[in-house]
C-alpha cells in the first residue's frame, strides 16, 4: 500500500507541474494536447524513476496506460474477427455487403515505438472499421511482438510473415480480395515497418506486383541523424519528445544503456557509416521552408565504438536504401505533422522517392502533433485525428 501511495503522490505532483508547459502557437485542441502531453511526461518520469529503483521497467508502466482495448465486435456492415496469419495475430474487417467483383484491401500496421500498441487499441479499431466501411475494403490489422522482450528484427519479421501469408492467391481469393488493389499502411514505427516491408516485397519474385500502394503516416524512417531540424524544434514535444523517441529506439535495439547517451549526443554512428549520410542529408533533401535557420553539424563518428549493425541496417532505416532500390516502389502516400520530431523523415523520403520517379502524394498537417491517430474516437479525441483519417481514407479511395 505504501508503495502505491508513493507512486500516486509522485504522479500527482509531477502531473501538476507538467500541466503548465506552453504549447506551440495556434495548435488545435490546445487544452487536450496540454493534458495528453502532461500525462505522457508524467508517466515517463515516473516510469524511469520506478525502473531506477527496481520496481518495474519503464515500458511496463507505459503499457498499463495502453490497455484501452476492444474485442473483435462485428456490427451491421462489417464482420470483425481475430485470427492468425502464419501464427501472427491479425484482426480482419470484412464488409458484409455483397460485391460483384473482388474488393481492394488495406494492411494496417500500428505504431507505438516498437514497444507498445496493438490492433486491439480502441482508436486503431475505430480507424480500421471506418476504412473498411467507407472503402468497402478488406482491412487487416497486424500485431507484432514488442520490444524490449523481442528486439529488432522480430517486429519486422512478424509483419513480413503475415503479409506474405495474406498475399498468397488462395488467401486473397478466400477473402474476395483483388490482388491488384492492395495497400500496405502504417503509422509512426508501424510506418517504418510498412516502408521496409514494401521495399522487400518489391524485390520478392512472387509478390512484387501485388502491392499497389503504400501509405505512411508520420513514419520513423532513419536512425542516422537524430538532430534534423524537426528533432531540434520538437525536442521537448508536445507528446513525443526526442528523449522518449530515443528511449524507445534503444529498447528495440539493445540493452546497452550507453545507447541512449550516444544517440542523445548524435554520436552513435560507426566510422564506416559516413557514406550513408548522403541519404539523410537534410540540407539537400528538405524543402527550404523546413530548413529555417538551422545549421547542419555532421555527427562525430565512432565516438562510442559501437559495432551495432542495426544503426546502418536499412531494415530499420528505410531511407538508407540506394536509389536503384527505390525506383520500383509503388504509388506512395506520406503524411507529416508540423510539431513532430519525425516530420523531416517523411519529407526526406518524399523527396528521394520523387527524385527517382516514384509517384508520391504528400499531405503536411500544420499545427498537428505526432500520433494524433491514437486519440481517434476517445474522450480526448483530437480534431487532427479526424482530419488525418479523412485525408487517408480519401487518398485510398482515389488510388487503390
CATH superfamily of 67-400: Alpha/Beta hydrolase fold, catalytic domain (3.40.50.1820)
Catalytic residue, from 188, 230, 241, 317: name it.
188
Angstrom distance (rounded) from CA 384 to CA 364: 11
Other beta carbons less than 10 A from residue 197's beta carbon: 26
Residue with grid cell 527517382, as numbered in its chain: 356
Write out the three cell numbers for 198.
Answer: 514494401
370 catalytic? Reply is: yes
Least confident of 45-49, 96-100, 104-108, 124-128: 45-49
Catalytic residue, from 143, 158, 340, 345: name it.
340
Q: Give the per-residue pLDDT at 205.
A: 85
Q: Per residue in 154-168, pLDDT tens?
A: 999 999 999 999 999
Least confident of 77-81, 116-120, 254-258: 254-258
The CA-to-CA distance between both ends of the chain, in Å, stands at: 55
Give residue 363's Cα distance to chain centre.
16
Helix intervals (H) in 180-257: 189-202, 229-233, 242-253
268 catalytic? Reply is: no
Domains of the chain, residue spans? 1-19+27-65, 67-400
pTM of the prediction? Answer: 0.92
340 catalytic? Reply is: yes
Across 14-33, b (16+ Cβ under 10 Å) vs e yields bbeebeeeebbeebbbeebb
Amino acid at each position: 500500500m505504501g508503495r502505491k501511495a508513493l507512486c500516486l503522490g509522485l504522479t500527482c505532483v509531477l502531473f501538476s507541474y507538467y500541466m503548465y508547459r506552453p504549447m506551440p502557437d495556434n495548435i488545435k485542441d490546445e487544452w487536450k494536447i496540454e493534458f495528453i502531453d502532461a500525462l505522457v511526461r508524467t508517466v515517463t518520469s515516473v516510469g524511469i524513476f520506478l525502473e531506477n529503483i527496481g520496481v518495474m521497467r519503464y515500458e511496463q508502466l507505459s503499457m498499463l496506460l495502453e490497455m484501452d482495448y476492444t474485442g473483435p465486435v462485428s456490427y451491421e456492415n462489417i464482420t470483425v474477427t481475430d485470427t492468425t496469419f502464419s501464427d501472427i495475430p491479425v484482426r480482419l474487417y470484412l464488409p458484409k455487403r455483397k460485391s460483384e467483383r473482388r474488393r481492394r484491401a488495406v494492411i494496417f500496421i500500428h505504431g507505438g515505438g516498437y514497444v507498445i500498441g496493438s490492433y486491439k487499441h480502441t482508436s486503431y479499431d475505430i480507424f480500421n472499421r471506418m476504412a473498411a466501411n467507407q472503402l468497402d475494403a478488406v482491412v487487416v490489422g497486424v500485431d507484432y511482438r514488442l520490444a524490449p522482450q523481442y528486439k529488432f528484427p522480430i517486429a519486422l519479421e512478424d509483419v513480413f510473415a503475415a503479409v506474405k501469408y495474406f498475399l498468397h492467391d488462395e488467401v486473397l481469393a478466400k477473402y474476395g480480395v483483388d490482388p491488384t488493389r492492395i495497400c500496405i499502411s502504417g503509422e509512426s514505427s508501424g510506418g517504418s515497418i510498412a516502408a521496409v516491408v514494401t521495399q522487400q516485397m518489391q524485390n520478392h519474385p512472387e509478390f512484387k506486383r501485388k502491392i499497389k500502394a503504400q501509405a505512411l503516416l508520420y513514419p520513423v524512417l532513419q536512425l542516422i541523424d537524430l538532430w534534423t531540424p524537426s528533432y531540434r524544434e520538437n525536442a521537448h514535444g508536445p507528446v513525443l519528445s526526442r528523449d522518449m523517441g530515443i528511449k524507445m529506439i534503444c529498447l528495440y535495439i539493445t540493452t546497452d544503456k550507453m545507447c541512449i547517451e550516444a544517440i542523445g549526443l548524435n554520436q552513435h554512428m560507426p566510422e564506416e557509416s559516413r557514406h550513408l549520410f548522403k541519404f539523410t542529408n537534410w540540407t539537400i533533401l528538405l524543402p527550404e521552408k523546413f530548413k529555417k535557420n538551422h545549421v547542419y553539424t555532421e555527427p562525430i563518428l565512432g565516438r562510442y565504438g559501437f559495432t551495432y549493425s542495426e544503426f546502418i541496417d536499412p531494415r530499420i532505416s528505410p531511407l538508407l536504401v540506394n536509389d536503384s532500390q527505390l525506383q520500383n516502389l509503388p504509388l506512395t502516400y506520406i503524411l507529416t505533422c508540423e510539431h513532430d520530431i519525425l516530420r523531416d523523415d517523411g519529407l526526406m523520403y518524399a523527396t528521394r522517392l520523387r527524385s527517382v520517379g516514384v509517384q508520391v502524394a504528400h499531405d503536411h498537417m500544420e499545427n498537428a502533433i505526432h500520433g494524433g491517430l491514437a486519440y481517434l474516437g476517445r474522450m480526448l479525441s483530437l480534431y487532427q485525428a479526424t482530419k488525418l483519417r479523412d485525408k487517408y481514407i480519401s487518398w485510398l479511395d482515389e488510388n487503390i
